[in-house]
Amino acid sequence: MPTVIIRTTVADYDRWKPVFDEHKSFRREFGLTDVGIYRDATTPNDVVLVFGADDLGRAHEFAESENLREAMQRSGVISKPSIWFLEEAEPLETRLLAPGEQALEART
Answer whether residue 107 shows pLDDT above 60. no
pLDDT band, very low/low/confident/very high, at 97 (cuts 50, 70, 90): confident
What gap in Å lies between CA 40 and CA 35, rounded to an integer? 17
Residue 30 has pLDDT above 80, yes or no: yes
Q: Is residue 96 part of a domain?
A: no
User: How much is the pLDDT for 106?
Assistant: 44
Residue 75 lies in a domain: yes
Per the structure, how many domains does the chain have?
1
**Residue 81 domain flag:** yes
Three-state SS at 41: coil
Q: CA–CA separation, 16 vs 32, rounded Å?
A: 19
Question: β-pairing, 46-53 with 32-39?
Answer: antiparallel
In a domain, 92, yes or no: no
The pLDDT, as a whole number, for residue 28 is 98
**Boundaries of domain holding 28:** 3-86
User: Sorting pLDDT into bands at 50, 70 and 90, what band is 105?
Assistant: low
Is 105 within a domain?
Answer: no
Residue 51 lies in a domain: yes
Q: How far is CA 100 from CA 35, 40, 104, in A?
A: 21, 23, 13
Which pTM value belongs to this model?
0.83
Q: Write out pLDDT tens, residues 37-94.
A: 999 999 999 999 999 999 999 999 999 999 999 999 999 999 999 999 999 998 777 6
Burial 6-39 (b: 16+ CB within 10 A, else e): bebbbeebeebeebbeebeeebeebbbeeeeeee
Please report whether residue 41 resides in a domain: yes
Q: Tell which residue, 65, 63, 89, has the closest CA to residue 1.
A: 89
**Residue 16 located in a structural domain:** yes
The domain spanning residue 20 has which CATH number? 3.30.70.100
